[in-house]
Chains A and B, each alone.
Chain A
Amino acid sequence: MDKTIRELIQEPCGVITAKRQLAPLIYELTVYAPAIVHNAEPGQFVIVYARDGRSKPIPLTIADFDKQAGTITLVIQAVKVGTIKLLTMNAGETFFALQGPAGHASEIESFRGAIVVVAGGVGIAPVYPVIRALKEAGNEVEAILGAREEKFLFWEEKIREYSDSVTVCIEKPPFKKGREEGLVTPSLEKAFLARRPISHVFAAGPLPMLRALSAITKNRGVKNVSSAVAQMIDGTGMCAGCKCNVGTESVLLCQKGPEIDGNLADWENLGVRLNGYRKQEDEALEIFKANDPLYKVFLEQEEAFAKGGVQ
């Protein structure tokens, strides 16, 4: 159902068609956005202005897309004011603005050697379309998923569908049978002990995890493709707020990224730039919690989930 541009621009873009809670604070939104799906590829992202003109631009990696249905899937964790407000929106509502696809698509081919994909926390979402594309290109894919607690883990089954093996690492008890206890890094080390050669490690997740993984891949001399996050405004290369040192180069994550060479990335500087507004963000969160009726809406939503399990 390839539509023309003239048809696509007449369609709505950014209508939430389904909302599902995956874990405490983590939600999956299906969003009708045929104009975005049209040219979207694994590894790319969108920028959401959630409710109104006061919303901030939030960059989100496209976690899945359905070209037939014209929808994209976004997995979002409620962390700060912006994401909490976004997650009080419900199916049927439309984002104030939705831009994308943006960024450079994952460079996927039939690699020589196995691929290990490591994902932690909400990083599990962006690696899903990458894993699928890797598998469809004929690669052997080993997935290592990490979560703070079992209850925060999601999409394990989706990932298994396209992976040759899946290892799940859980940091804190209770531990289910078959889970590795602790961080993802020992499991990556273990993956290297198997006899087959590993060509690439793909990674997505919190910065400390990406940094720790890069120490291992650098040491082993294995290519590391990490999906990084940054403060972003326009996603077209205009503001340069997402600049990031990769080796001797300064690259814009919205242009060359979000996937970068993890072995060459200056993770420390990325962290400094990502967290530069933390004080302002924390203050804003306190004010929001104290004054904004939307926070109560969000708490009720979370409570309903705690009572009823997965919706």
Chain B
Amino acid sequence: MSGRKVTKDRVEMPAQDPKCRICNWNQVETGISLADAKKEAGRCLQDGARKCESGCPVGIPIHSMLEFVEKGWMRRAANLVREHNLLLAITSLVCPQTEQCEAACLIAKSKNPAVAIGNVERAIYEWERDNGGPQIPTLLPENGKCVAIVGSGPAGLTAAAFLRVYGYRVVIFEALHVAGGVLMYGIPEFRLPKAVVQGEVDYILSFGGIELVKNTFISKRFTVEELKREFDAIYFASGAGKPIPLGIPGEDLFGVLTANEWLTRVNLLHGNLAEYETHLPDFKNIVIFGGGNVAMDSVRSGKRVITERVRGMLEETSSTIAYRRSKELMPARVQEVHHAEEEDVAIQGQVSPIRILSEDGKRVSGVECVRTELGEPDASGRRRPVEVAGSNFILPADLVVTALGNKPNPAVINQMEGVRVGRGGNVCVDKEGRTSVPGLFAGGDLGRGGATVILATGDGKSAALAIHKWLSKETPWPTPEEWKPIT
């Protein structure tokens, strides 16, 4: 297959017109055709280095995937991806491909656009969806052992599926009334349709032998101690659900919401729709603090809610992202920032909030902010924002959403007796998801303290294998000296 030439004409992902899409909740990116997917897949140089694959946290054999698509072997392509990544539909939509596989693409090294691997992956999913759906992998016969999984987000779902493949019965405990975790309550419909997530949940449950128990917050309804008594192993994947506050005066005013609350009220409880009982605050000027995907999701959801409310008369409204570092340093996916700007979101870099203001002492009316300069790099390697004295100004706001990230919920960790906890409040795990306590595995954001869907998926997969090796007595639990935490 070698000897191919570098081509520049990447098939671009078509998107809804910005003016149109802020009036609906449909997916912004509309997907590429099968013919385009084949064409794009054909751009892969199929060189021996397979650099892109080293950029993939779950190790999808991307070159083979692209080759299959190019040849039109779509079922083989779908099955190949699902062998490595059971959440194909989800990751194709939310993976930061531009920083992972596509960043490592050999074509990109020659300053040409990388193969649009994510877009091809999405085309595979759409073909699969329209052609009988995903196939259930070969499942080993049940071995009589049962594993408890805490949390039904990407890490928990993936671990459950792979454990079932290895022959285990699985019980997944989910605190909310729907499965999917952050995929359901966090990421909005226009980026990740809830039907896609539900489809993947239903697919995994259709394996048989995996039980989903909703409305069950482990630590309260059942304790970790009780789980230990009844299950052969436990995988904790309860995510990072404790929002980090701004820590400034006025954060307790009505109209200041965490991104978790704001997105849950919109995505999960549909507060924007009249026939649903949940409400949203009245607002015309929304300000989000933060620069990650959650901040982008929050502001763009806000934009759509305002547009519905004012019936498109957007003149007297505003949607603003305020981030304390520069715009270029925002951790959000490139596409999300681009889409937000297209949707007329004002992105203000180097802005830090000082206090939240209220005219009546009850509701938020604005935020006093200060400009920042970028100083020396901090522990994260990013340049630290330093406040510029006297640069204070006021951002008008009647809805403030804080999207500064999340830490793991301490409630469940407090019951994981003897487990080592990291400085960020995360559970320390080794690369196989083993904690410092035999029989307790953990991963996803609970181990990482706020990362990506694909990393959580990778965690779930490696933990499933580690659980299998431990329960089948293939690999003994590491001694304290052997245990090498990576988080």
Question: Residues on A close to B: CB < 8 A?
Answer: 4-6, 8-9, 13, 35-36, 38-39, 44, 49, 54-57, 81-82, 85, 96-102, 233-241, 243, 245, 250, 255, 266, 269, 272-273, 276-277, 279-281, 284, 287
Is B11 in the interface zone, CB < 8 Å from A? Answer: no
Please state if B279 and A233 are interface contacts (CB–CB under 8 Å).
no
Note all chain A residues with C-beta closer than 8 A to B473. Answer: none
Please state if A243 and B277 are interface contacts (CB–CB under 8 Å).
no
- What is the distance, in angstroms, from A140's C-beta to the closest C-beta of chain B? 31
- What is the distance, in angstroms, from A3's C-beta to the closest C-beta of chain B? 11
Please state if B252 and A35 are interface contacts (CB–CB under 8 Å).
no
Interface contacts beyond A56-B278, A237-B242: sample of 16 additional A-B pairs, CB < 8 Å, sorted by A: A4-B230, A5-B222, A5-B226, A9-B213, A36-B221, A39-B221, A54-B270, A97-B177, A100-B220, A102-B220, A233-B261, A236-B217, A269-B252, A272-B254, A276-B281, A284-B279
Given known pairs A238-B242, A272-B362, A276-B254, the reply for A54 and B276 (CB within 8 Å) is yes
Specify the chain B residue showing the minimal Cβ separation from A272. B362
B 161-200 to A, binary, CB cutoff 8 A, 1 in contact else 0: 0000000000100011100000000000000000000000
B 245-267 to A, binary, CB cutoff 8 A, 1 in contact else 0: 10000011111011011001100
Q: How far is the CA of A255 from the CA of B409 in the complex (A)?
A: 10
Note all chain B residues with C-beta closer than 8 A to A54. Answer: 270, 275-277
Q: How far is the CA of A13 from the CA of B254 in the complex (A)?
A: 34
Q: How many A-B residue pairs have CB under 8 A?
A: 123
Specify the chain B residue showing the minimal Cβ separation from A271. B362
A240 touches which of B215, B243, B274, B281 (Cβ 8 Å): B243
Note all chain A residues with C-beta closer than 8 A to B222. Answer: 5, 8, 35, 38-39
Note all chain A residues with C-beta closer than 8 A to B258. Answer: 239-241
Q: Which of B250-309 contact A (CB under 8 A)?
A: 251-255, 257-258, 260-261, 264-265, 269-270, 274-282
Is B214 in the interface zone, CB < 8 Å from A? Answer: yes
- What is the distance, in angstroms, from B213's C-beta to the closest C-beta of chain A? 5
Note all chain B residues with C-beta closer than 8 A to A100. Answer: 217, 220-221
14 A–B contact pairs at CB < 8 A? A5-B227, A35-B221, A36-B221, A39-B223, A44-B220, A55-B277, A85-B277, A96-B177, A233-B269, A240-B258, A240-B261, A241-B261, A276-B254, A276-B255
Please state if B279 and A281 are interface contacts (CB–CB under 8 Å).
yes
Q: How far is the CA of A280 from the CA of B230 in the complex (A)?
A: 46
Is B140 in the interface zone, CB < 8 Å from A? Answer: no
Please state if A250 and B277 are interface contacts (CB–CB under 8 Å).
no
Please state if B230 and A6 are interface contacts (CB–CB under 8 Å).
yes
- What is the distance, in angstroms, from B74's C-beta to the closest C-beta of chain A? 34
Question: Residues on B close to A: CB < 8 A?
Answer: 171, 175-177, 211, 213-217, 220-223, 226-227, 230, 241-243, 245, 251-255, 257-258, 260-261, 264-265, 269-270, 274-282, 361-363, 409, 411
Please state if A97 and B215 are interface contacts (CB–CB under 8 Å).
yes
Note all chain B residues with C-beta closer than 8 A to A98. Answer: 215
- Best-buried of A36, A238, A281 by chain B (most CB within 10 Å): A238
A237 touches which of B227, B281, B411 (Cβ 8 Å): B411
- Best-buried of A38, A233, A250, A279 by chain B (most CB within 10 Å): A233
Q: How far is the CA of A234 from the CA of B239 in the complex (A)?
A: 14
Specify the chain A residue showing the minimal Cβ separation from B252. A269
Please state if B221 and A255 are interface contacts (CB–CB under 8 Å).
no
- What is the distance, in angstroms, from B448's C-beta to the closest C-beta of chain A? 17
Note all chain A residues with C-beta closer than 8 A to B217. Answer: 99-100, 102, 235-236
- What is the distance, in angstroms, from A42's C-beta to the closest C-beta of chain B? 14
- What is the distance, in angstroms, from B418's C-beta to the closest C-beta of chain A? 21
- What is the distance, in angstroms, from B414's C-beta to the closest C-beta of chain A? 11
Note all chain B residues with C-beta closer than 8 A to A243. Answer: 252
